[in-house]
Structure 1
Amino acid sequence: MDAAAIVVPTLVYTAEVEGPPSFLVSTAVLVLAAAVIGYVSVRLRVVPIVGFLVAGVVIGPTQLGLVGDVETVEAAAEVGVIFLLFIIGIEFSLERLAAMRTWIVLGGLLQVGLAVGLVTALCVALGVGWRDAVFTGFLVSLSSTAIVLKLLGDARETTTVRGRLAVALLVFQDLAVVAMVLFVPLLGAGTGDGGGSNTTDLIIALGTAVGIIAVVLLGARRVLPPVLERVARTCSPEVFLLTVLALCFGTATLTALAGVSLSLGAFLAGLLVSESRLSSQALGEILPLQILFSAVFFVSVGMLLDVRFVLENLPMVLGSVLVVFLVKLLTTWGALGVLRRSTGKIAAGPALGSALLLAQIGEFSFVLETVGRDSGLSPAGLGEDGSQAFIALSVLLLLATPGMAALGRRVEARLDARDDARRQAASAANRAADATVDRAPRGDGGRQVLLSGWGPATRAVARELRARDIPLTVITLSPDGAAQAEADGHPVVMGDSTKQAVLEMAGLDHTRLLVVAEDNHDRAQQIAAVVAGLAPYDVPVLARPLGGTDLAQLARVGVHRVVDPEGASRHALTRAVLTALGDDAGPLPQMLLPVATGADQEPARTTPLTSTVDMSRVVAVRPDPQQPACGHLDPVPPVLPTAVGCEECMRRGTSWVHLRVCTDCGAVGCCDASPGQHARAHANTFGHPVIASLEPDESWAYCYDDKTTVQGQKPLA
């Protein structure tokens, strides 16, 4: 009997009896809910994070109960936080973090100290025991690293003053969590006799954590760059991605063993990668995974909310939300106010904007609350009700954070306009003058050209662009190519041009032309498809594909111009780039063929060109379906011209009137009004009856066999 006849029914029967694994059902529900809510949020122009939180509330165990395996969700959420902090670390740098050390130490210490002190005082005034009061202060002092950095990253505000202030305070809070987790058991009942021992353990643990962080920063900074270089030379995105993942999780695990939070370890790993020139490639590879797992994290936070408890205790929950919001706002604003006066470099607008952005309770407060519960502590000393109220107000404040961030932007803009009107006016005048100076030489607003791939052809393009004062950036996966481009003095982004994050890091938002000259011909289609999907940018793509080239497919995915590497000279790509930019290509070496010499011919000379053809221009005549046409003209395939002029005229050294292209092979010939009539001669010789006009303002095809003309749309450019 056939083995399949036994195995297949057995597998089907087993699946029917046992059903799918519980984690698979939970994962499917999570991803489906995130996708649906994410789509609805984008359509309604609502911040997707809010949608993810709401999705968690709906599918959580206290509402519909669609997700039963909560532990799997929590594990995936932890991975999401690790990825998020790793990417933020890549976007930062050790140099930038060192420059913020005053903000981190002074600002963070003041913010956490003021929050803990004010909450403790309020709780004691309300009759709460001092142990529970201090514990509650710890919970309230922390803000959400995940949601704040996600909002800053989506708005491209991580490196603004407001963003850097928020990051500085969050870095200190993540460090403070280590001390809080170790100190909370000291606050628990029955720790009076072991206080000295516990204090010693606390000091030892803190020293170990600082030592581990120092080892990671100093050791990995020396080891990491050569390792990534060696891996990058394999030119394997899969191996590079696995290496980056190993670095991310390895560093996070190492710091966690020292008692430091996983998220801070991931942030440190990102900082180490940021010191390498391969940081953009790492960012492009890891970003899709981060998007998935961070969505799971926000859904998991929403699952914590018990709507029934909120409704039954609505006055207490809303009152707690208001009190916590005011405490966070006032203490953060106060800490940044001291920082403003001590440094004199922070305006009121960014400081208040940061205070509004941080006015919520963080995800690490949930971890700290669990530690406190095990030690006999509870929020505000209310026991289980205190824990439920804490979770409810935390989720509600997280839901309100995107709105607070938007309010912070508006408040910051208004304060800056009111307090610094003169400075703003002068800055605007300076920016206008600088923009005028940048635009004057080229008339392009200082917009750059992106070169994807590095080789002899793109090197020639880069040399010509620099000579004409046109800015450019090179994107390449090759470490050797990157080193050569950097040696030539060009800015380089190492990464995969098919990744949106890499293109944006290279400056796609201020790019006037993207030139794709990769060794793999499929990449031209992939890169063009990615760029076409980024609607706000609207960047034209010029491709020089290698191997078998499907022109129709290239046109469909958004390639505007094509250079045929087999039929073009080594200067063809440079000429095509300058033509696409509207720049004069005159100084380049001419792409003309010498006239053949012989006994009955004149000495060799170059062809006197009457008009020329852009060899990167795809010619495609698309007939009107209402217009009758012969079989040869339906359809007319797209084609690339194989020469800049009539090939036979250039060989003979004669001139032409108009140019035609053979739609079968791309051969260029002169029209019937020209002396040679070489387009007709080519058709008769090779049996290719259809030609198309190459004149700039014409779009028609003609069949010599059936004497039929078809008017079409404008040729593809």
Structure 2
Amino acid sequence: MHSLLFDIAVCTIAAWVLGVVAQLARQPVILAYLVGGFLVGPSVMKLVKSQESIETISELGLIFLLFMIGLEIDLKKIVRSGKVILASAGSQILGGAILGILFFLLLGFPMGQGRWDALYLGIAAALSSTVIIVKVLYDKRELDTLPGRVTLGLLVLQDLFVILFLAVQPSLNDLRIGVLLLSIARVAVLVLTMFLVSRYVLPHLFRYIARLPELVLVGALAWCFFGCELAEQLHLSREMGALVAGVALSTFPYALDVTAKVTSLRDFFVTLFFVGLGMTIPIPTWNVIGLALLLCAFTVVSRIATTFPPLYWMRQGIRASALPALNLSQVSEFSLVLMTLGVAAGHISPDIKNAASFAFVILAVVSTFAMTNSDAIARWLTRRLKSFGLRDLDASATPADDDGDGHGARILLLGFFRTASSLIADLERDDPDLLKEIAVVDFNPVVFANLTARGIKVQYGDISQRETLVHAGIEKAEILVSSIPDFLLKGSTNERLVRQLRSINPDAVIIAPADTLADVAQLYEAGANYVMLSRLTEARDLREALTSALSGQVDTKRAELAARLDGRAEVLA
């Protein structure tokens, strides 16, 4: 026991020290945990030598990792996924896995007769890192953009794909129809039992203990281990049971509270899993390094080949098709989980798992850099592809300064997000004549398609590029409006945009938004005629709501808002 406690202490200290270093270097902390485990493990410093400790640490961490992944899978989002996400997911996940299997089979990796190296490598290359992607997109405030939503939708469906693979993984060495059907039946029993209990029993139990945080935490852990042991009794893996337990718990009313209670414990054991995984990595041979580099190259190429074409064919434009492919270009932490299970089942050699671990490390660094600079990469890629003759959405667009009758738009909305969406909805209902004077310039393909369908003039293009502004007819417009805050602008700021607009059209009235009070003076100095501060409008609305509440008229205030929202169909809901 003392040895295990010492080993856990060493792992925790190493993870914390290297985690701080990773934060300073702006690298994923998972990378730090793997490196920390590698350093303190048997291959380098030999501070942790007990194989039993390593296996115990890794298994506990893996169970909690899968339980929390299950908790965060939103089944409703999967059901509501649009055809764009569903079609691109089918291409990326199934296409990527099939291409990977064929590629590694051609290279001589076995598949069958007890060895499944090609299968595991192909599936590992088809999965992307949720932890890295969500962290970078969150920092860049791009989770709510179209490429961000497509990326997140693909990640959720990747998790669903892994669940299906885990169902058959224990029976790979005996894949007869009868054995496969038996495995599916066992999974069905596991899933049905867990969902029935979570639907009809757990809500009543958690309602009684909701005010006792320690019992909520213990109850969640008990549910996790119940799922693990039920799966074990059904001859499935404990990891599969933990994942199903998490997914089942995500559907009942106390899921958010449970997630909040379990998160800190999850972080600790997930840390132990990746440190434990790092401890199993030996000093690499040239063969392992070569396979890792090959896996990296194939992952990037296959991600582009299976993600970009379906999005482009569904008229999402070059930029919105390229960014998800770029975002998804890394090996998933789930791939490492599958490799660990593969080694434990004897399906693959340890060298395969080690190569996947090194590929994860390499792509974690490279893809983080690429995602951080994704806008510049997407612009360069758009120019190159268009120079090779690939058509973008602007190829068939009518310039915003020409409605077909030679009449230019008097008002140009540069960029289109929620404020512009609400403005268009107000004008459609209250002032359709003014709406006829407006044209929009934006590079969101959803905005382009919806505005075109409504008969509103729109030009597809990037407003941070001078040629887009000139082509849109900036010099002829009377009023130029930017309604997008700085943190959403890509490749520019409102101050820079205003200066550029003023240089092209010295006489136009320019309206722009400010994020902070200090920005107001800078925008006026840059040439803006009026600066919008959304915080003032929100503060006025909040003051009116407070006054209504104090006078007992909050229901009247609510009814006024309901009347404004009634029948409202915005481009961006």
- TM superposition score category, shorter chain reference: 0.5 to 0.7
Cα distance 1:210–1:111, how it changes in 2: closer, same or farther (>3 A)? farther
Q: Does 1:328 align with 2:299?
A: yes
**For each residue in 1:143-167, what CA deviation from the matched residue of structure 2 results, as whole angstroms up to 9, or x when unmatched?**
3999923334544459833122123
Name the residue aligned to 1:317: 288
Name the residue aligned to 1:254: 230
Q: What SS does structure 2 have at the residue aligned with 1:356?
A: coil
Name the residue aligned to 1:163: 152
Contact 1:90 1:270 in 2 (8 A): yes
Contact 1:353 1:411 in 2 (8 A): no
Cα distance, 1:293 vs structure 2: 0.7
Q: What SS does structure 2 have at the residue aligned with 1:37?
A: helix
Cα distance in 1 between the residues matched to 2:132 and 2:551: 37
Name the residue aligned to 2:352: 390
**For each residue in 1:536-590, what CA deviation from the matched residue of structure 2 results, as whole angstroms up to 9, or x when unmatched?**
xxxxxxxxxxxxxxxxxxxxxxxxxxxxxxxxxxxxxxxxxxxxxxxxxxxxxxx
Instruction: Give the partner amino acid of 1:165.
Output: L
Cα distance, 1:352 vs structure 2: 0.4
Cα distance in 2 between the residues matched to 1:165 and 1:147: 9
Name the residue aligned to 2:34: 53
Contact 2:110 2:116 in 1 (8 A): no
Q: Does 1:224 align with 2:198?
A: no
Cα distance in 1 between the residues matched to 2:109 and 2:247: 42
Match of 1:425 among 412, 415, 425: 415
Cα distance 1:446–1:82, how it changes in 2: closer, same or farther (>3 A)? farther
Contact 1:120 1:133 in 2 (8 A): no
Report which of the two has the higher share of helix: 2
Cα distance in 1 between the residues matched to 2:393 and 2:165: 35
Q: How many residues align?
A: 413
Instruction: Give the partner amino acid of 1:368.
Output: G
Name the residue aligned to 1:369: 343
1:662-677 paired onto structure 2 within 5 Å: none
Cα distance 1:303–1:337, how it changes in 2: closer, same or farther (>3 A)? same
Gaps of 5+ in 2: 383-391, 398-412, 422-481, 486-531, 563-573
Q: What SS does structure 1 have at the residue aligned with 2:152?
A: helix
Contact 2:109 2:117 in 1 (8 A): no
1:680-699 paired onto structure 2 within 5 Å: none
Instruction: Give the partner amino acid of 2:221.
Output: L
Cα distance in 1 between the residues matched to 2:365 and 2:393: 25
Contact 1:356 1:405 in 2 (8 A): yes
1:127-166 paired onto structure 2 within 5 Å: 131=112, 135-143=116-124, 148-155=129-136, 156=138, 157=143, 160-166=149-155
Match of 1:199 among 177, 190, 194: 177
Instruction: Give the partner amino acid of 1:369.
Output: V
Contact 1:90 1:279 in 2 (8 A): yes
Cα distance, 1:296 vs structure 2: 0.8
Cα distance in 1 between the residues matched to 2:323 and 2:239: 26
Cα distance, 1:462 vs structure 2: 11
Cα distance, 1:116 vs structure 2: 5.2
Contact 1:356 1:408 in 2 (8 A): no
Match of 1:406 among 365, 368, 392: 368
Gaps of 5+ in 1: 1-19, 187-197, 379-386, 450-459, 472-488, 490-717
Contact 2:67 2:246 in 1 (8 A): yes
Contact 2:224 2:245 in 1 (8 A): yes
Q: What SS does structure 1 have at the residue aligned with 2:336?
A: coil
Instruction: Give the partner amino acid of 1:213.
Output: V
Cα distance in 1 between the residues matched to 2:360 and 2:91: 23
Q: What SS does structure 1 have at the residue aligned with 2:56?
A: helix
Q: What SS does structure 2 have at the residue aligned with 1:160?
A: helix
Instruction: Give the partner amino acid of 2:329.
Output: L
1:586-605 paired onto structure 2 within 5 Å: none
Q: Which has the higher contact order (CA 8 A, sep 6+)?
A: 2
- CA-based RMSD: 4.3
Cα distance in 1 between the residues matched to 2:244 and 2:220: 13
Q: What SS does structure 1 have at the residue aligned with 2:328?
A: helix
Cα distance 1:437–1:85, how it changes in 2: closer, same or farther (>3 A)? farther
Q: What SS does structure 2 have at the residue aligned with 1:131?
A: coil
Contact 1:53 1:302 in 2 (8 A): yes
Cα distance, 1:298 vs structure 2: 1.1
1:179-194 paired onto structure 2 within 5 Å: 179-185=168-174
Instruction: Give the partner amino acid of 2:64.
Output: F
Cα distance, 1:182 vs structure 2: 1.0
Name the residue aligned to 2:322: 349
Q: What SS does structure 1 have at the residue aligned with 2:44?
A: coil
Q: Does 1:40 align with 2:11?
A: no
Instruction: Give the partner amino acid of 1:32.
Output: I
Name the residue aligned to 2:186: 208
Cα distance, 1:242 vs structure 2: 1.0
Q: Does 1:73 align with 2:73?
A: no
Name the residue aligned to 1:178: 167
Contact 2:309 2:321 in 1 (8 A): no
Cα distance, 1:123 vs structure 2: 4.8
Name the residue aligned to 1:287: 263
**For each residue in 1:334-353, what CA deviation from the matched residue of structure 2 results, as whole angstroms up to 9, or x when unmatched?**
44346536866793134303
Cα distance in 1 between the residues matched to 2:63 and 2:179: 27
Contact 2:96 2:306 in 1 (8 A): no
Cα distance, 1:444 vs structure 2: 7.7
Cα distance 1:123–1:115, how it changes in 2: closer, same or farther (>3 A)? same
Instruction: Give the partner amino acid of 1:225.
Output: P
**For each residue in 1:596-624, what CA deviation from the matched residue of structure 2 results, as whole angstroms up to 9, or x when unmatched?**
xxxxxxxxxxxxxxxxxxxxxxxxxxxxx
Contact 2:85 2:150 in 1 (8 A): no
Contact 1:83 1:294 in 2 (8 A): yes
Cα distance, 1:303 vs structure 2: 1.1
Instruction: Give the partner amino acid of 2:53.
Output: T
Q: What SS does structure 1 have at the residue aligned with 2:229?
A: helix
Cα distance 1:127–1:24, how it changes in 2: closer, same or farther (>3 A)? closer
Give the alignment's TM-score, normalised by structure 2. Answer: 0.60
Q: What SS does structure 2 have at the residue aligned with 1:63?
A: coil
Cα distance 1:71–1:151, how it changes in 2: closer, same or farther (>3 A)? farther
**For each residue in 1:263-321, what CA deviation from the matched residue of structure 2 results, as whole angstroms up to 9, or x when unmatched?**
454344334443444333222211111111111111111112211xx2xx32x333312
Contact 1:145 1:170 in 2 (8 A): no
Cα distance, 1:136 vs structure 2: 1.9
Give the alignment's TM-score, normalised by structure 1. Answer: 0.49
1:294-305 paired onto structure 2 within 5 Å: 294-305=270-281
Cα distance 1:101–1:78, how it changes in 2: closer, same or farther (>3 A)? farther
Structure of greater Rg: 1
